[in-house]
């Protein structure tokens, strides 16, 4: 009888054991710095061990956009996706709320940069001009372009430029815009790609997301599934604590954070440039989402891109972030 009880206890322990491997997606740019810090300082491993989970392994997968991360999450290939608000909102809607926001990464701006002297407003973009975004229609850049179009030309013309968008990663868009050797005339950029682009004498900024929504906004965030969150409560808490520690460290050590970013990403950009971006008033690292995140869900709902309209940002996030 004692052996049977022991066997049942072992079986129950295995049945309810949390994952020993956690898989996270990441992407390009200084805005993703909290992920870089977590990976470099092994913060998830540290907090998982402190929570009694033993040796937990992290795996990092790089995607060009949150839309690619969504496909991986649905396929069971990652546990946490990083990306812009728009692809998250589409997945939240598609899964009827079974994928939720876990943490925010930053409050920041996107910048509309052009290599054509004739483009001073959206009205100046010609039919043959191409606009680089991370993913056509589904990326945050694509949605910002739609919001800008609706504001400039009327709500019914929100998709005026959709056919002119091209999917390019931020690094590839930087090369395309500054080389001028193709039809890319506009890039909707995050950092440090915005700063690098406008250093080119042929490139200048003509619009930012502040002009569209009026202020800084939640830009990048992390999301996961109800299934992972419910099955791995201790691990989820460890991941949350890791993000909190990483963002606190960045805000308290901006110069060291710049050095870490350069070392880990092996970028050739000077430390002063990266430090200037991190310390800018236009970029704030924060684990808490801004309430104006619902401006984007309202727009996607109004244009029919999503079928459900959240009443507040709290409906979009796990309670761990309320």
Q: Of the candidates 61, 67, 55, 54, which has an alpha carbon nearest to the alpha carbon of residue 39?
A: 61
Predicted pLDDT at 237: 97
Q: Is the pLDDT of residue 30 over 90?
A: yes
Exposed, middle or buried by CB within 10 Å (0-12, 13-18, 19+), for 268?
exposed
Query: Among residues 163, 189, 215, which one ends one of the domains?
Result: 215
Q: How many domains does the chain have?
A: 2
Note whether 243 and 298 are same-domain residues. Answer: yes
DSSP 125: -
What's residue 8's pLDDT? 39
Do 225 and 311 share a structural domain? yes
Residue 23 sits in the same domain as residue 62: yes
Residues 235 and 266 in one domain: yes
Chain centroid to CA 83: how far?
2
Is 177 within 8 Å of 112 (Cβ atoms)?
Answer: no
What is the pLDDT at residue 2? 52
Place of tokens 């001073």: 120
Q: What is the domain range of residue 171?
A: 111-215
* 31 and 101 belong to one structural domain: yes
Q: Does one domain contain both 210 and 298? A: no
Which region among 11-20, 40-49, 186-195, 289-298 has the lowest average model confidence (pLDDT)? 11-20
- Residue 81 CA to residue 70 CA, distance in Å, equals 7
Residue 303 covered by a domain: yes
In whole angstroms, give the CA distance from residue 73 to residue 21. 15
Question: End of a domain among 215, 240, 263?
Answer: 215
Claim to verify: residue 98 and residue 222 sit in the same structural domain: yes
**Same domain as 206, residue 259:** no
- Pair type for strands 21-26 and 57-62: parallel
163-192: pLDDT as tens digits: 999 999 889 999 999 998 889 999 999 889
121 and 245 inside one domain: no
DSSP 55: S
| CATH code, domain carrying 312 | 3.40.190.10
* Look-up of token digits 């079928």: 307
Structural domain includes residue 12: no
**Predicted confidence (pLDDT) per residue in 263-312, tens digit:** 999 998 999 999 999 999 999 999 999 888 999 999 999 999 999 999 89
Q: Are 24 and 101 within one domain?
A: yes
Per-residue pLDDT tens digits for 94-112: 999 999 999 999 999 999 9
3 falls within a domain: no
**Domain assignment of residue 14, yes or no:** no
- Please identify, among 215, 241, 256, the residue that sits at the C-terminal boundary of a domain: 215
């Amino acid at each position: 009888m004692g052996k049977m009880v022991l066997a049942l206890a072992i079986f129950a322990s295995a049945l309810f054991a949390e994952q020993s491997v956690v898989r996270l997606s990441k992407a390009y740019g200084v805005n993703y710095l909290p992920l870089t810090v977590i990976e470099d300082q092994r913060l998830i491993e540290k907090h998982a061990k402190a929570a009694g989970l033993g040796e937990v392994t992290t795996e990092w997968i790089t995607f060009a956009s949150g839309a690619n991360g969504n496909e991986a999450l649905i396929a069971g290939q990652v546990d946490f996706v990083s990306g812009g608000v728009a692809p998250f909102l589409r997945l939240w809607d598609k899964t009827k709320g079974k994928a939720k926001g876990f943490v925010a990464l930053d409050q920041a701006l996107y910048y509309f940069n052009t290599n054509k002297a004739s483009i001073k407003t959206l009205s100046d973009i010609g039919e043959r001009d191409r606009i680089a975004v991370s993913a056509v229609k589904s990326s945050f850049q694509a949605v910002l372009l739609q919001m800008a179009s609706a504001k400039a030309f009327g709500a019914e013309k929100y998709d005026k430029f959709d056919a002119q968008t091209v999917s390019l990663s931020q690094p590839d868009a930087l090369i395309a815009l500054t080389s001028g050797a193709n039809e890319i005339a506009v890039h909707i950029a995050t950092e440090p790609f915005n700063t690098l682009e406008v250093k080119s004498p042929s490139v200048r900024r003509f619009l930012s997301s502040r002009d569209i929504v009026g202020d800084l906004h939640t830009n990048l965030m992390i999301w996961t599934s109800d299934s992972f969150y419910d099955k791995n409560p201790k691990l989820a808490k460890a991941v949350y604590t890791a993000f909190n520690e990483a963002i606190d460290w960045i805000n308290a050590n901006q110069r060291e954070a710049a050095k870490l970013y350069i070392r880990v990403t092996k970028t050739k950009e000077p430390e002063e440039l990266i430090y200037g971006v991190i310390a800018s008033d236009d970029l704030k690292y924060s684990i808490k989402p801004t309430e104006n995140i619902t401006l984007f869900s309202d727009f996607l709902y109004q244009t029919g891109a999503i079928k459900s309209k959240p009443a507040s940002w709290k409906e979009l996030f796990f309670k761990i972030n309320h």
